[in-house]
Every structure is written in structure tokens, then in C-alpha cells.
Amino acid sequence: MPTRPTKPVVAITGASQGIGAAIARAFASEVRGVRLALIARSESNLAKVAADCRKVGARAEVFTCDVSDELSVAKMASAVLAVYKRVDVLVNNAGKYAGSPFLETSVSEFDRMIAANLRSLFLVTRAFVPAMAERGRGDIFNMGSVAGIAAYPGAAAYTAAKFGVAGLTKTMRVELKGRGIRVCCVHPGATVSPSWKGSGVPDARMMPAEDVAAAFVALYRMSPRTVVEEIVLRPQLGDL
């Protein structure tokens, strides 16, 4: 079985805010020697997260990228590999939420949701995972949603994208398990994050982003002999 690297390189998309930023801080605090590749569009927000991670002893570098754009992803991947030489853990967290019922969803909005949540995951994974397969080890965490495992009325395009994430993750798991790569899909419910801003749902009914982030670190820390293929996280006070 593959052994875990002593100074893992963890690449996190959507790391500039919300759950992605919390995941970065959690790995920085909990995994000794971790080296972080923080990826998102906002360089200023990434810089703040990187500073937090460095304060607790992690190395953190910033890489700006539109992860739904093929050329942008290619440039970002080249930059990450120029700095770190490899990626051991890939956290496909980047995504976007926009709600509208099916009959009110435009073609352009549907395309935006697919690009932000599903195409982005495909592009970034294709950029980093072939090298993982060659080395015979690695971890992939895909950010799903409870909207990707059950109907979520009022968010047709987002739901379709997250069901796609769940399906793609299952295929990746089957195809890559013999190559020493663990693949997990994390399905969080309502979480205190920018996606839920303005929803009217009080924070008390949602999970802290830090709790969701802690789950990623816990899953990573399991023996390489074990993989959690899917995990669902929901607020204790409701089924959001």
C-alpha cells in the first residue's frame, strides 16, 4: 500500500473564502509540514488565507485561476508544479450556487452552474491526477452537496451540477482505486459561508465551515488502507 508523504502538498480550489479557506486553515493547523497550493480568482483574499496558514507554520503559496477555464487551469497547474513539483492531495472545493426553478432557468445560467461546479472539477483533476497515478498514490476530495444526492427544488442547474459531481466521483473511484488513489465525495448541507449569505437561514441552523473542514482532515488522516467513498454532513437542527 502507498505510504503517506511526510510533507504533503495539498492543492485546494476555491480557497479564498468559506469552506475552502477553512479547509486550508485546518490542514495548516493539523498536518505537520504541509505545503499548501491555494487556488482561486481573488488574489487578495487568497493572500489573507495564506497569511493565516503561515502563522501556524505551514508553507502556503497563492495561485490565481479561473478553474472553469481550460487555459487558466493549465497555466495554474504549471505554476503549482514549478513550485512544489507534485500534488499529493487535491481538494476540488471551488463552486458556485445560484437558485432558480427548472422552468425559470436560462440556458446561460445552466451553463454557468455546470462550468463552475462540474467542468472546473474535471479540468483541475485532469491537470494533477495523471501524475498521482504514475506515482501510485494520492487523495482526491470532491466537494459535493446534499443537492447532489436528493432533489433540491428551486436550484435546478446547481442540483444537476452536483449530481454530476457525485457521478464523476464514483467513476473516478472505480478507475483510480487500483492506482493507489483514494477518492471521496463530501456532501455538506447548509454551512455558514458566502453561498448562504442572504438566504434568511440563521447561522444557528447551519454548520460552521470549520466543522466541515475538520472532516476533510480526518478523512485524510485515515490509513491508506481505508477510503470513505462518500460522507454526508448536515446541521443538527434541520435537514438543510
Contact criterion met (CB below 8 Å) for 83 and 134: no
**Domain assignment of residue 54, yes or no:** yes
Number of domains within the chain: 1
d(CA 151, CA 167): 15
Q: For the segment 207-223, what is each residue's pLDDT rounded down to a tens digit?
A: 999 999 999 999 999 99
With CA atoms as reference, report the closest residue to 34 among 62, 63, 10, 4. 10
Q: Is the pLDDT of residue 198 over 70?
A: no
**Domain assignment of residue 140, yes or no:** yes
Q: Is the pLDDT of residue 238 over 90?
A: no
Q: Is the pLDDT of residue 172 over 90?
A: yes
**Domain assignment of residue 3, yes or no:** no
Q: What angle do CA 62, 165, 208 make, to 5 degrees?
A: 60
Average pLDDT over residues 53-64: 98
Q: What is the pLDDT of residue 199?
A: 66
Q: What angle do CA 66, 209, 201 make, to 5 degrees?
A: 100
CATH of the domain at 214: 3.40.50.720
The model carries a pTM of 0.95
Q: Which domain holds residue 144?
A: 9-233
